[in-house]
Amino acid sequence: MTRMLVAESQPQTGQVAKPPSDIPEPIIEAYAEINDLPIGYCRYGHGPYVFLFICGGVGQLFTLPIAKLCILNSLILHIMNFYHEFLGCYKKDFPENVLRAFDPNFATIICFDPPGYGKSRPPDRKQEVQLNKKDAKFGIALMKHLNLVPFSCLGWSEGGRTAIHLAQLAPRECNSVILLSTSTQIDFRGDMAFKGMRNTDQWLPNAKETYLAHYSEEFLREQWAALCDLVSTVYKDLGGRFPSDMILSQVKQPVLIVNGGTDRFILDPKHMTDKLQNASIQTFRVEVHAQGGHDLHIKYPRWFAIKLTQFVRENTQKKLHK
């Protein structure tokens, strides 16, 4: 087993090998029927290294203003400012600037919306403890449907928990795993933060604006409350461990953990690396962008693309596909 821990303070120079072109690579949006449900996805690039990008289970939120009706101490408010997940979809979590940081001649990237979010609706999402495992099965089926196996699986935030399940379920189809801004556990501070944010009727109007452009007020209210209840269940009944934490030591593929040095959302990656040390795994690596936050891939897309490109080139073989 090779254990590699690398911390980067600044974006390094390097070549993502994206040649200049007058005609940009298209980002193609489409649907596929997977297990009798419509699954929305987009595709970028045509290269021999295939990726599946999984969005955060509840999306991205830069700073969530909370109404004065909420009783918050300074710690909870500090934590809330970094809880970036809400109403996830690939368009928000992997915007165009992220995809175009990759050389389309190197990578073929599929980003998909899990059932119940974004373009993969109806039906609406049902929050439950085993949801990430169910999402993983849809991701595997989608990549088989597209004839894009094997592939490297990247999950952002809660999507990283889905990526862990996918790697455990499909060791032949998934040849490496990238966990971006991911935690597999929740602590007391996180549980309290979600409880303080549960009632969306107490949010300020501008906190809802972004999400009401994509979802109804009712969907927003119901999905957020259900997610907060799910987090509380995991903390109270499962000791703060999501199911992905319990299977992390079963992952066999090379793993890259990418975090931001200013991200207050995630827990210490040591919670995950200790388990990976006990797994039959050839390589795992930790990369940290010192200035990066929870959404470091959006703010520093070139650094992000360089790290993924290096890792995949070193740990997976080039896969030709039709």
CB atoms within 10 A of CB 95: 16
Q: pLDDT at position 278, please? A: 77
Q: Which residue has the tokens 């699986």?
A: 153
In a domain, 154, yes or no: yes
3-class SS at 155? strand
Q: What is the CATH number of the domain that holds 290?
A: 3.40.50.1820
Q: pLDDT at position 279, please? A: 74
Q: How many domains does the chain have?
A: 1
Q: pLDDT at position 7, please? A: 38
- Per-residue confidence in pLDDT tens, the chain, 322 aa: 333 333 343 444 444 555 545 789 999 999 999 999 999 999 999 999 999 999 986 543 333 333 333 433 433 333 333 333 445 688 888 999 999 999 999 999 999 999 988 889 888 888 999 999 999 999 999 999 999 999 999 999 999 999 999 999 999 999 999 999 999 999 998 899 889 889 999 888 887 876 777 778 998 899 889 989 999 999 999 999 999 999 999 999 999 999 999 998 888 899 999 899 877 676 899 999 999 999 999 999 999 999 999 999 999 866 554 4
Q: pLDDT at position 73, please? A: 40
Q: pLDDT at position 3, please? A: 36
In a domain, 224, yes or no: no
In a domain, 266, yes or no: yes
In a domain, 149, yes or no: yes
* Beta-bridge partner residues of 34: 37
**Residues whose CB falls within 8 Å of the CB of residue 127, separated by 6 or more in sequence, listed in order:** 223, 226, 227, 229, 230
DSSP calls for 54-83: E--TT---S---B-TTS---HHHHHHHTT-
In a domain, 92, yes or no: yes
Q: pLDDT at position 21, please? A: 58
Helix (H) or strand (E) holding 110: strand 107-112
In a domain, 219, yes or no: no
Q: Cα 186 to chain center, whole Å? A: 16
Is the sign of the CA dihedral 197, 202, 206, 210 positive or negative? positive
Alpha-carbon distance values, 188 to 60, 192, 233 (Å): 22, 6, 12
Provide the domain limits for residue 102.
Answer: 2-14+23-63+86-185+240-315
In a domain, 222, yes or no: no
In a domain, 220, yes or no: no
Alpha-carbon distance values, 140 to 43, 87, 152, 166 (Å): 16, 22, 11, 7
Give the torsion through C-alpha atoms of 173, 184, 8, 279, to 10 deg. Answer: -60
DSSP 245: H
